[in-house]
Structure 1
């Protein structure tokens, strides 16, 4: 079975994060700040694409997150992404999430710890930087 390369890249906006999903190579990245006015409209197509990509066999996945800020609507979208990745990992796909945070940002570190508690199958790593 051959699949076409699938790459999604969305530049960061004033209120939205940079998104880079390379499903062919299993590399996903979300960075910047995330508080779009309509989080459902922003994340909805991404969630659908992730679901579609995870429905077929593929490479190991690595999601790198480096967020300076996100609002509650974005947190819900992140949880939806995380749940899809957890489900894929439970079915045997190797999935790693790297939560990057600045060493001075206690809030983002705490969010990383909170999210990490929700996983049994995904490898979730806290990655501090200075």
Structure 2
């Protein structure tokens, strides 16, 4: 299949999906005018990867701020990962955050509570 990349803007995260390594990374703020438009292609890529790749999928997140619609989109992506995990597919999330930004750590903790797959929250100085 194929890789994909979305350039980040002031209000949208940079997003890269690398099929060969099984990684999906997102960096930056996420408060787009239309989160469905932004995250729909991410959701479809994750669905395809989980259905076709037969290899682990790793999400590497460095998200700084998410608005309500972005949070909903991330919940939908995590639901896909949860479903895959229950089917025995290896999936994992590493959510990196700056130790000075407790709000992001709290948000990541809230997501983690609903997930049974490996979900690490990694603070950095």
Give the TM-score normalised by structure 2: 0.94
| Count of matched residue positions in the alignment of Structure 1 and Structure 2 | 125
The gaps in structure 2 that reach 5 residues or longer are none
- Whether the aligned pair in 2 keeps the contact of 1:24 and 1:59 (CA below 8 Å) is no
Could you tell me which residue of structure 1 aligns to residue 107 of structure 2?
111
Q: What are the within-5 Å matches in structure 2 for residues 1-130 of structure 1?
A: 4=1, 6-120=2-116, 122-130=117-125
Q: Could you list the per-position Cα deviations for residues 75-123 of structure 1 after superposition, in whole angstroms to 9, with x for gaps in the alignment?
A: 0010111110111111111111001111011100101111110112x10
RMSD (CA atoms): 1.1
How far, CA to CA, are the matches of 1:62 and 1:53 in structure 2?
Answer: 11
Helix, strand or coil: the match of 1:55? helix
Helix, strand or coil: the match of 1:104? coil
How far, CA to CA, are the matches of 1:51 and 1:125 in structure 2?
Answer: 22
Task: For residue 74 of structure 1, report the CA deviation from its aligned partner.
Answer: 0.4
The gaps in structure 1 that reach 5 residues or longer are none
